[in-house]
């Protein structure tokens, strides 16, 4: 896991800005007319960091087949396909994506959005995840690991789920498809990982 960084005024301001963008996205999803500040860009800004393309290459629409690990260790494929739309935002200096599970109409809980920004100082990605039911924001740190993209965070425990270390990996990344896996490890471990969710996404 990345080392925990001290909270500073600059980081607080950055977080506030990220939260504002997420709230604007939520308003847009409820049918409000988008403004110049919320309209996504189709291309990165000319002055954007070259690292932006690490996630910028995913910009577009994807259909994803999702599998979940069962108690007996087998994998169960969910019915239907989830939709994952990626765009440039913040004037082409960041990437935002919108996740819609296959059962979003009956179960809006899974609807969510990530805002992905590159931190020039720490040389890593800062990612903020928010869901439709807004059960708290989650922050992840991201980095390149060989040909893969890896995100890590500490997942807070809830009544029906223990806290754990979480690792998300994008791998076998190609122009028209990629694979994604979510792994968990006990809070005090970080060495033994169990795959819980995996999926393959193809461009729609």
Show pLDDT as tens, one digit a residue, over the chain (204 residues).
333 333 333 343 444 444 444 444 443 334 433 444 444 468 999 999 999 999 999 999 999 999 999 999 999 999 999 999 999 999 999 999 999 999 877 777 789 999 999 999 999 999 999 998 877 799 999 999 999 999 999 998 877 778 999 999 999 999 999 999 999 999 988 899 999 999 999 999
Q: Determine the pLDDT at residue 2.
A: 35
Q: Which domains does the chain have, with CATH numbers?
A: 9-203 (2.40.128.20)
Q: Determine the pLDDT at residue 143.
A: 97
Q: DSSP class of residue 161?
A: B
Q: Determine the pLDDT at residue 41.
A: 66
Q: What are phi and psi of 135, to 5 degrees?
A: -85, 50
C-alpha radius of gyration, the chain, whole number: 17
3-state secondary structure 20-57: HHHHHHHHHHCCCCCCCCCCCECCCCCCCCHHHHHHHC
Q: What is the pTM of this model?
A: 0.79
Q: Determine the pLDDT at residue 12.
A: 39
């Amino acid at each position: 896991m990345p080392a925990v960084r001290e909270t500073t005024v600059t980081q607080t301001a950055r977080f506030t800005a990220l939260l504002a963008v997420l709230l604007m996205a939520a308003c847009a999803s409820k049918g409000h007319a988008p403004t110049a500040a919320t309209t996504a860009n189709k291309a990165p800004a000319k002055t954007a960091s070259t690292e932006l393309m690490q996630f910028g290459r995913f910009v577009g629409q994807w259909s994803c087949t999702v599998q979940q690990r069962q108690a007996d260790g087998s994998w169960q494929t969910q019915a239907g396909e989830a939709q994952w739309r990626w765009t440039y935002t913040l004037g082409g200096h960041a990437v935002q994506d919108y996740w819609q599970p296959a059962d979003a109409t009956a179960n809006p809980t899974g609807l969510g959005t990530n805002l992905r920004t590159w931190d020039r100082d720490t040389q890593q990605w800062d990612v903020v995840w928010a869901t439709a039911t807004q059960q708290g924001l989650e922050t992840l740190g991201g980095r390149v690991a060989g040909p893969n993209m890896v995100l890590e965070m500490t997942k807070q425990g809830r009544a029906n789920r223990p806290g754990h270390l979480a690792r998300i990996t994008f791998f076998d990344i190609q122009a028209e498809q990629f694979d994604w896996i979510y792994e968990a490890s006990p809070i005090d471990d970080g060495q033994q990982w169990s795959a819980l969710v995996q999926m393959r996404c193809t461009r729609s």
